[in-house]
Amino acid sequence: MAGRARRAMAVVAVAGLAVAGCSSDGGDDGERSAGASTTSAAATTTAPIDWPTPTLVEGDCPMPTDEVELEVTCGTVEVPEDRLDPDSRMITLAVARIHSSSATPKPDPVVQLEGGPGFASLEDVTGYARSKVLEERDYILWDQRGTGFSDPNLDCTETNEAVWDIFATTDPPEEEAKVIEDSLRECRARVVAAGAELDGYDTTQNAADLADLRVALGVDEWNLRGISYGSALAIETVRSHPEGIRSVLLDSIVPPDSGFGALGRGQSALRAYQALYDACADDADCTAKYGDLHALFTKAA
């Protein structure tokens, strides 16, 4: 599977862990703040954990760059898997820098914040290398924790296969949902057995990763470009780690305080479709051309 189709499956892989109730056994609600924890209702706060200064380790690019005409440099940055756990292991983020075509590029690069959550960036380096951003600035790509070439990768291959399998069936939605849920639980068991602390995979930690990445790359100021879930990540980063952010570009905005679950997305999609059906029904020209738009969509599906 290639391009967006492969990346769409990655969303099932990473975001789906939470959909099936697959957070770690600590019972955390996902609203923890990095670097501090409360121990009582009186909000007694511990001192921040002194983590190592984030550093870029340069290395070979893990993705093909043959079709990219500009210079691309790659590396990894180590970050704590769970910044609230002083004994947390370190995980690695994969990062690539597409260098500007300008002889005198502006000092503030653009960093890409992918959507999903679960999309990776590095595998799409060829597409990003065509961006007009590169006429003036470097373009920084990174695979968010748990995705792409970052380690560990939480891709749920079990769920990827289950999704494709149900395309070949006409089972009731309830049965298909059960198949997906079972595959997610199987995936959760596998990644947890491999050592993943799922409490560490949330937007709060992602935003802290982004702040660490800027330090590791030696960037004084940069510009955030977030699309879909990436817009929520950008907003959270502005809230919790505003240092070094020159500007923010948001596309297909997802408020960070809204849920990312499949149920909420499905309900939102149904409301959008219903609004389209109603608008067509109220428009004589649309009705004359398409008739019952709901029935037409149902038949196409």
What CATH number did the domain enclosing 181 receive? 3.40.50
* pLDDT score at 6: 43
% of the chain beyond a pLDDT of 70: 82
Task: Check whether residue 234 and residue 124 sit in a common domain.
Answer: yes
Question: 26 vs 23, 84, 87, 211, CA distance in Å?
Answer: 8, 12, 15, 26
pLDDT digits (tens, 9 = 90+) for 77-109: 999 999 999 999 999 999 999 999 999 999 999
Specify whether 283 is located in the same domain as 253. Answer: no
**C-alpha–C-alpha distance, residues 253 and 241, integer Å:** 19
Residue 150 lies in a domain: yes
Does 45 reside within a domain?
A: no
Domain hosting 133: range is 3-23+53-260
Please indicate, yes or no, whether residues 70 and 101 belong to a single structural domain of this protein. Answer: yes
Based on the domain organization, do 85 and 171 belong to the same domain? yes
**What is d(CA 158, CA 169) in angstroms, rounded to the nearest whole number?**
17
Same domain, 245 and 272: no
Structure confidence by residue, pLDDT tens digits, 34-92: 333 333 333 445 678 899 999 999 999 999 999 999 999 999 999 999 999 999 999 99
Mean per-residue pLDDT over the chain, rounded: 86
Q: Where residue 254 falls among pLDDT bands split at 50, 70, 90?
A: confident
Calpha distance 162→160 (Å, rounded): 6
Same domain, 267 and 251: no
Which residue do the tokens 């940055």 mark? 77
Are 276 and 130 in a shared domain? Answer: no
Q: What is the pTM of this model?
A: 0.75
Side-chain-facing half-sphere of 218: CA atoms under 13 Å: 4
Residue 222 sits in the same domain as residue 197: yes
* Structure token digits, residue 262: 């499949």
165 and 84: one domain?
yes
In a domain, 35, yes or no: no
Q: Are residues 268 and 124 part of one domain? A: no
pLDDT at 3: 47
Mean pLDDT over 266-288 rounds to 90
The C-alpha atoms of residue 121 and residue 225 are separated, in whole angstroms, by: 12
pLDDT cut 90: percent of the chain above it: 70
Whether 102 and 233 map to the same domain: the answer is: yes
Q: Residue 260 and residue 110: Cα distance in Å, rounded?
A: 25
pLDDT at 38: 32
Query: Is residue 43 a part of any domain in this protein?
Result: no
With contact defined as beta carbons under 8 Å apart, do 236 and 62 qualify? no
Report the distance separating Cα 267 and Cα 277, nearest Å. Answer: 15
* Element at 54 (helix H, strand E): none
Is residue 128, in this structure, part of any structural domain at all? Answer: yes
8 Å CB contact between 210 and 113: yes
pLDDT of residue 277: 94
DSSP 8-state class, residue 38? B
- Same structural domain for residues 249 and 271? no
